[in-house]
Structure 1
């Protein structure tokens, strides 16, 4: 569990850093999506925020 938490923190920091020029609503929508996925299904090697390459290529209609 500690490893997943550390990965989540690193990914969240990267997403926030890379998305600095994006509108606030898009960032918060992506952050909410990541948070919901983490709580409902967790992350693994096949499903994680990096699979979208951050908010850049994320489809807002995608559900967990």
Structure 2
């Protein structure tokens, strides 16, 4: 689990075996799961200067969300 000081994303975790990226946004308490996300996309989120910009560019419209 990684916590961020981002204005968009509070925390993220990734399950390597199922390739599920889980995100908690600053605007919500619940977690959102994104199945099928490759590990390099998760790593890119961790490395990104702007978590929100990275999410919008590489995750939001590329992977389906399960609440």
TM-score, reference length from structure 1: 0.35
User: Larger Cα Rg: Structure 1 or Structure 2?
Assistant: 1
TM-score, reference length from structure 2: 0.34
Using CA pairs below 8 Å that are at least 6 residues apart, which structure has the higher relative contact order?
A: 1
Higher strand share: 2
